[in-house]
Structure 1
Amino acid sequence: MLAALSLASINGQSAIALESGIEDNASLLSKEKAGEAIAQNATSTKAEAANAGVLDAIAASQVIYLAETHDSRADHIAQLDIIKALDETNELAIGLEMFQRPFQSVLDDYLAGIISEADLVKQSEYETRWGFDWEFYAPIIRYAKDNQIPVIALNAPTEATRQVAREGLESLEGDLLKYVPPVAEIDTTDEAYRASVARVFGAHGHGSSLSFENFFAAQVLWDETMAESVVRQLEKEPERQIVVLSGEGHIAFDYGIPSRVERRLPDIDQASVRLSTVDQPITPNFTDFVWITP
């Protein structure tokens, strides 16, 4: 599930940098509800029909998660294609891992035409807090602006996740508490999730340089904050379907955002979609659906 989870205090982007690699071993990670991966057996010639089937299957879901590899241009093209297709029949909101909660007003100002795109990038501190090529996400945000679709800054501020990674959840105080859920709601009890993160932690040699408990707590804080952001949007505008763009590690096997949204809203109808090339190995139950990218 998580191939490159590492502390990124060196470059300042976030407390944890999550890159999307896949362990193709279903015995390592599992989820109780088997997903219906319509496109798992697709070939390139069948991809268009398979993807159309995915669109039909997810059309009525209240939350749709599009699990991306952050530096995959094909994934971001697919995300925009899916958003455009859903926008034909549904009222949408778009939730982005790439923006942190303190900068919601900056996003709102851009969508309202108050500031320019260059100002959005600068004032949201995008380059230092996220840092992937802006043009991966710019077409999606431009489409949202042109079509009056709300865009939600889902993520916890770097300062909060970094603080937890270094000193634990109980060290959060002051302004940092304004942008994350109450510490009592940060649920670190999922043993399967803990085991998967522990494998990554060990594989990347953090060892004694970083407490695993704090490292895992920071990962969960990230998930919980984004889940709370999704729920707030649903409660604010329940008529809008929300499309969440996030890295695979926050979506796979429902360990991250989806299960924490469901905990807050038990009757929620959600669907997760992995964006995958036709020749990429499929891990059973990784997501509910697979969308084939070129």
Structure 2
Amino acid sequence: MSHLLTQANSQPVEMQFEASPETIIQELVKADVVYLGEIHSNPDDHKAQLDILQALYQENPKIVLAMEMFQHPYQDILDQYLAGHLTETQLIEQTEYEQRWGFPWDYYAPLLQFAQTHQLPVLALNTPTEISRKVARNGLESLTSDELQQIPPLDEIRTDNADYRQMVEAVYNQHQQAGHGNSDRFERFFTVQVLWDETMADGIANFLSANPDYQVVVIAGRGHIVYGYGIPSRVARRLSYRPLIQRSVLFGIPEAVEENGAIADFFWQPR
């Protein structure tokens, strides 16, 4: 179990590599927040996410779907789609999905169709691209007062997790031709990663604060979820005043438990 997912206000669960889908669902139903960490380009991950969402809905229909794939200024567009006022084509166009996310729409359409059919709220979680790009170029200090209104307060954008920094830096260096990128450039890259985490965590925490009887099912890249470093620890920090159970799911072959804990609570392997 990830040491960051097992917060003081959460009940730990033993890591289960060989748990059946039925057993995993029984555990996930108990959670306030369920993280379904994907590899964006893997269609099998997206199919599994839909299976889990459908199974959780059968146990508890008070679910909100929270998605990294949409940026929060487009929340109203999502709401209009869910209310039946927009077609999928209009949703794609008006959220600028192709420009702002771009992975095949067919990966996420079934999730949104399910949410619309069953009238589940959907949260647009992510930071606007314009802000992310500006921070990547010039840092948080370059943002205007209007831009700062679109992200959490600067003192809540915490980059002090050394283990997380090391993990992200390893990935970053893999994508640099020489194996090691410019340190200032990496610092801004890491800040953007954390900005996404904090923005998404803020949206989740705000929803749960206003709707404590809902379960939040989060659809996000696994890099924002593993070990609890990204979104989960930051949701727990914001909701430290209340009991909170968070559970994480990855897909495919289980990965080794390292010294700093398990990478996730469960690995989902359909049978």
TM-score by length of structure 1 reads 0.82
Instruction: State how far apart, in whole Å, the 2-side matches of 1:163 and 1:57 are.
Output: 41
Identify the residue that residue 288 of structure 1 maps to in structure 2: 265
Identify the residue that residue 29 of structure 2 maps to in structure 1: 59
Identify the residue that residue 104 of structure 1 maps to in structure 2: 75
Given candidates 242, 246, 251, the residue that maps to 1:270 is 246
Identify the residue that residue 36 of structure 1 maps to in structure 2: 14
Instruction: State how far apart, in whole Å, the 1-side matches of 2:21 and 2:270 are.
Output: 9
SS in 2 for 1:188: coil
Instruction: State how far apart, in whole Å, the 2-side matches of 1:31 and 1:191 are.
Output: 14
SS in 1 for 2:125: strand
Cα deviation code 1:21-49 (max 9, x no counterpart)? xxxxxxxxx746586332x246xxxxxxx
Instruction: State how far apart, in whole Å, the 2-side matches of 1:283 and 1:246 are.
Output: 21
Given candidates 182, 189, 193, the residue that maps to 1:219 is 193
CA-based RMSD of the aligned residues comes to 1.7
* Structure 2 stretches lacking a partner, 5+ long: 7-11
Q: How far off its partner does 1:188 sit?
A: 0.5
**8 Å contact 2:38–2:45 — kept in the other structure?**
yes
Aligned length: 254
Cα distance change of structure 1 residues 209 and 119 upon mapping to structure 2, 3 Å threshold: farther
Matched, 1:179 2:150: yes
Instruction: State how far apart, in whole Å, the 2-side matches of 1:214 and 1:35 are.
Output: 35
Identify the residue that residue 255 of structure 1 maps to in structure 2: 229
Give the number of the structure with larger relative contact order, counting CA–CA contacts within 8 Å between residues 6 or more apart: 2
Given candidates 81, 87, 108, the residue that maps to 2:57 is 87
Q: How far off its partner does 1:176 sit?
A: 2.2
TM-score by length of structure 2 reads 0.89
Q: How far off its partner does 1:275 sit?
A: 1.6
Instruction: State how far apart, in whole Å, the 2-side matches of 1:151 and 1:175 are.
Output: 25
Matched, 1:73 2:46: no
Q: What code does the residue aligned with 1:167 have?
A: N
Q: What code does the residue aligned with 2:55 have?
A: A
SS in 2 for 1:153: strand
Instruction: State how far apart, in whole Å, the 1-side matches of 2:195 and 2:31 are.
Output: 25
Cα deviation code 1:108-160 (max 9, x no counterpart)? 00001111110000000000100000010001101100100000001111111
SS in 1 for 2:149: helix
Instruction: State how far apart, in whole Å, the 2-side matches of 1:73 and 1:36 are.
Output: 28
Given candidates 134, 157, 172, the residue that maps to 1:163 is 134
Structure 1 runs of 4+ aligned residues shifted over 4 Å read 32-35
* Structure 1 stretches lacking a partner, 5+ long: 1-29, 43-49
**8 Å contact 1:67–1:248 — kept in the other structure?**
yes
Q: What code does the residue aligned with 2:221 have?
A: G
Q: How far off its partner does 1:175 sit?
A: 3.2
